[in-house]
């Protein structure tokens, strides 16, 4: 029988912990109620083994302060960070309705369906915008994956979990306490090898996420984390058209550049990558193509290019003739009533 979580019902300052949302390798996330501002929040409680790493709390606090100053609609809002007198270190964040993108992908694949171009491009544009804002502030996320992209109640997709983010000028290694930091299925080759990072590291990870949305799977299905790392370092990824025959050929070219092993040959920004993907998939404008190749003109479509819009307010049929389908409800537990 599973033991009850000792933090449920406990108060950390004005925050009353009410329910578990999820658990990860670095922290547990709880739903809580802020008695001062009378609102629901999320509290991320760091695992003791992580919080006790030398210098970790100081770095984590500095990075949380940087993220809080970004104030971007597609980046998680941070409200507070503190350490309880008993030694519990936690961060208080915006509570998002969910589901996360990993849950959406699982639902779509299990139903034998596919994401439409509109869905992939709109979600990709929102995440790319969040990453670009972080990069402009000198922050590399380092753990971009579907689990860390959560849909809010208004339809926005929000990038979360900057817990292992690093400033670009930080002189730190990728390995801490003998571990590779990041998620192997989405890890750029330079990250897996402990080499210097840049915004191109997040470009690679975002490309893996959008590849998974398009193809219904990641490019490398490895049996172990070590094998996943080896594949990212050594093995060319199969083109996404391998798993989705209706893709225009230029889409493969876009992913060839975004997923190249050399970070200097990738797209210069996440926004540039998603914009090139839009042009390639919809057949509008010009596509930059693979690294080192000249710009490739694409014949325009018969009508005007639709402006970017949020997934909840733009019909899927604008960019695709595929029928729209309902998005599954949030997987989080329903909120308890305020005390």
Identify the domain containing residue 76 by its residue range.
Answer: 15-93
CATH number of domain containing 124: 1.10.510.10
| Cis peptide bond prior to 325, omega within 30° of 0 | no
Claim to verify: residue 69 and residue 115 sit in the same structural domain: no
Claim to verify: residue 168 and residue 136 sit in the same structural domain: yes
Claim to verify: residue 72 and residue 198 sit in the same structural domain: no
To 5 degrees, how large is the angle CA 277–CA 278–CA 279? 90
CATH number of domain containing 24: 3.30.200.20
Q: pLDDT at position 68, please?
A: 86
Q: How far apart are CA 161 and CA 100, in angstroms?
A: 12
Claim to verify: residue 158 and residue 277 sit in the same structural domain: yes
SS3 at position 255: helix
pTM over 0.85: no
Q: How far apart are CA 339 and CA 328, in angstroms?
A: 29
Successive 10-residue mean pLDDT values, the chain, 339 residues: 84 97 86 98 90 80 82 94 91 94 97 97 98 93 94 95 60 42 88 91 98 97 88 94 96 97 97 97 80 44 34 28 34 43
Residue 77, in any domain of the structure = yes
Claim to verify: residue 276 and residue 254 sit in the same structural domain: yes
| 143 labelled catalytic | yes
What 8-state DSSP symbol labels residue 240?
Answer: G
Claim to verify: residue 274 and residue 254 sit in the same structural domain: yes
Claim to verify: residue 67 and residue 127 sit in the same structural domain: no
Q: pLDDT at position 305, please?
A: 33
Which of the residues 34, 132, 143, 202 is marked catalytic? Answer: 143
Claim to verify: residue 74 and residue 127 sit in the same structural domain: no
Claim to verify: residue 162 and residue 308 sit in the same structural domain: yes
Claim to verify: residue 176 and residue 49 sit in the same structural domain: no
Q: pLDDT at position 285, please?
A: 77
Residue 324, in any domain of the structure = no
Claim to verify: residue 70 and residue 204 sit in the same structural domain: no
Domain boundary among the residues 75, 93, 111 is at 93
Residue 23, in any domain of the structure = yes
Residue 337, in any domain of the structure = no
* 70 token code pair: 């970004």
Q: What is the pLDDT of residues 128-164, one digit of tens each?
A: 999 999 999 988 998 999 999 999 999 999 999 886 6
Residue 327, in any domain of the structure = no
CA nearest neighbour of 94 among 126, 124, 64, 114: 64
Residue 338, in any domain of the structure = no
Q: How far is CA 17 from CA 6, 33, 60, 85, 114, in A?
A: 10, 7, 22, 16, 38
Residue 9, in any domain of the structure = no
Domain boundary among the residues 58, 93, 128 is at 93
Q: pLDDT at position 1, please?
A: 57
Q: pLDDT at position 249, please?
A: 94
CA atoms within 13 Å, Cβ hemisphere of 61? 9
Q: pLDDT at position 30, please?
A: 96
Q: What is the pLDDT of residues 313-332, one digit of tens each?
A: 322 222 222 333 333 333 33
Q: pLDDT at position 328, please?
A: 38
Residue 28, in any domain of the structure = yes
Claim to verify: residue 180 and residue 300 sit in the same structural domain: yes
Domain boundary among the residues 30, 65, 93 is at 93
Domain count, the chain: 2
DSSP assignment of 102-150 equals: HHHHHHHHHTT----HHHHHHHHHHHHHHHHHHHHTTEE-----GGGEE
């Amino acid at each position: 029988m599973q033991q009850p979580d000792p933090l449920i019902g406990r108060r950390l300052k004005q925050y009353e912990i009410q329910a578990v949302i999820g658990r990860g390798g670095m922290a547990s996330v709880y739903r809580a109620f802020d008695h001062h501002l009378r609102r629901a929040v999320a509290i991320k409680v760091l695992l003791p083994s992580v919080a006790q790493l030398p210098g970790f709390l100081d770095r984590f606090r500095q990075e949380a302060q940087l993220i809080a100053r970004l104030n971007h609609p597609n980046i998680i809002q941070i409200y507070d960070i503190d350490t309880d007198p008993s030694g519990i270190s936690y961060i208080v964040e915006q509570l998002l309705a969910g589901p996360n993108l990993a849950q959406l992908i699982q639902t779509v694949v299990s139903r034998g369906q596919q994401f439409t171009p509109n869905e992939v491009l709109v979600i990709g544009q929102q995440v790319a915008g969040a990453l670009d804002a972080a990069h402009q502030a000198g922050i590399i996320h380092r753990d971009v994956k579907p689990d860390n992209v959560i849909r809010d109640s208004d339809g926005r997709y929000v990038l979360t979990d900057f817990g292992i983010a690093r400033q670009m000028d930080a002189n730190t290694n990728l390995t801490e306490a003998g571990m590779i930091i990041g998620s192997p299925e989405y890890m750029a080759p330079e990250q897996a090898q402990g080499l210097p990072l840049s915004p191109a590291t997040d470009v690679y990870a975002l490309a893996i996420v959008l590849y998974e949305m398009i193809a219904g799977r990641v490019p490398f299905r490895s049996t172990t984390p070590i094998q996943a790392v080896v594949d990212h370092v050594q093995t060319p990824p199969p083109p996404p058209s391998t798993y989705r025959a209706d893709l225009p050929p230029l889409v493969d070219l876009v992913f060839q550049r975004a997923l190249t092993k050399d970070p200097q040959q990738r797209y210069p920004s996440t926004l540039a990558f998603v914009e090139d993907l839009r042009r390639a998939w919809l057949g509008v404008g010009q596509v930059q193509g693979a690294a080192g190749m000249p710009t490739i003109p694409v014949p325009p479509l018969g009508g005007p290019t639709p402006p970017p819009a949020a997934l909840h307010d733009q019909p899927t049929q604008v960019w695709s003739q595929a029928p729209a389908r309902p998005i599954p409800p949030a997987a989080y537990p329903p909120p308890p009533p305020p005390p």
